[in-house]
Structure 1
Amino acid sequence: MFRGLVVYRTIPGPAGFDILRGFAASAVFRAGHSLSGSTMKPSILFLVLPLAAASCRSAEPAVTEPVSSGTPTAEPSSGDTTRGDTTPAAEPATLTDLRWELVQLNGEAVRTTEVQKEAACMLMEIEARRVTGFGGCNRFFGTYRLRDGGELEFSQMVATRMACPGVEVDESAFLKMFTSVEGHVIDGDELLLKGAEGATLAVFRAAAPAASEATE
């Protein structure tokens, strides 16, 4: 499977998000062959699918143009403290490199519709200190910082901008939620993102390790 994300520019979005203007698509092909004499003739069928259908897997975001307002873009700057020699806080093995699917947002249960086909989700990569995900319609990515005591902060968040009729997830509220996260709690197979005064902003459920998805 070939994936591509061509970004023309970014513009400031709501609640600290940048909007990526451009084209997102995946090219999926199926190959077969027929034998004629000693010649093997391949036949390839290409299908173009929206990038929004991609799962919460590791994917390098495209380089975007600098934003004049100073709003961060998809690539962290060279001065980003999340990629320095500073020793990071110890992380629970269950927090990172797992696909976390959204099950509750602002106290309301989240339902995946037939149109949506895939649950809203996120993946936090421990080595790159990066978060990638799917909001029900659009893909998003950014960086995160984890401190001792369970404190958690997301930053440099950007998202694609596509219209998806029939999706019931309040994607705008979901993406805005990340700007208010101050901590986290892991309870069994659930991840609770916490805001000010310990309020639960969102609940995720562990789905599958990223490594197992990548080897399929």
Structure 2
Amino acid sequence: MIDDQMRFSIFGGCNRFIGDLALSEGTIAFPESFAGTLMACPDDVERHERAFLDALARVHSYVRYGTGLVLTDRSGGALLHFVERHD
């Protein structure tokens, strides 16, 4: 989720992370100085969460379509794909 003050909150599979988002015309970045919970996670979940955070650190730009958001690297390769949900 991204709020009005350009702060994000993300669930990584075990931990929750929050921080300030750097957004400009066509580019987006998730600075490394964000906060997260420190839950004890099963090893497989920890590996997936680490891969997720590593991908988040490489994000450079985004493509928005309908209810979807694709975060891409500098060469335009898709890193993460999100779809808006209303539970």
Report the TM range for the smaller structure's normalisation: 0.7 to 0.9
SS at match of 2:18: strand
Query: Which runs of structure 2 are paired with 1:157-168 in the superposition (5 Å)?
Result: 157-165=34-42, 167=45
**What is the percentage of aligned positions where both structures have the same residue?**
36
**Matched residues in 1 for 2:46 and 2:18: separation?**
21
TM-score (norm. length: structure 2): 0.83
Note the C-alpha offset of 1:185.
Answer: 0.2
Aligned residue for 1:174? Answer: 52
TM-score (norm. length: structure 1): 0.36
**Matched residues in 1 for 2:41 and 2:7: separation?**
26
The structure with more strand, counted as a fraction of residues: 1
Structure 2 gaps, min length 5 = none
Structure showing greater radius of gyration is 1
Query: Which runs of structure 2 are paired with 1:1-216 in the superposition (5 Å)?
Result: 123-125=1-3, 127-148=4-25, 150-155=26-31, 156-165=33-42, 167=45, 170-208=48-86
Conserved in 2, the CA contact under 8 Å of 1:145 and 1:153?
A: yes
SS at match of 1:163: coil
Structure 1 gaps, min length 5 = 1-122
SS at match of 2:82: strand
1:77-103 CA-partner distances (Å, limit 9, x unpaired): xxxxxxxxxxxxxxxxxxxxxxxxxxx
How many positions carry a matched residue from both structures? Answer: 85
Conserved in 2, the CA contact under 8 Å of 1:136 and 1:169?
A: no
- Runs of 4 or more consecutive aligned structure 1 residues displaced over 2 Å after TM superposition: 164-169
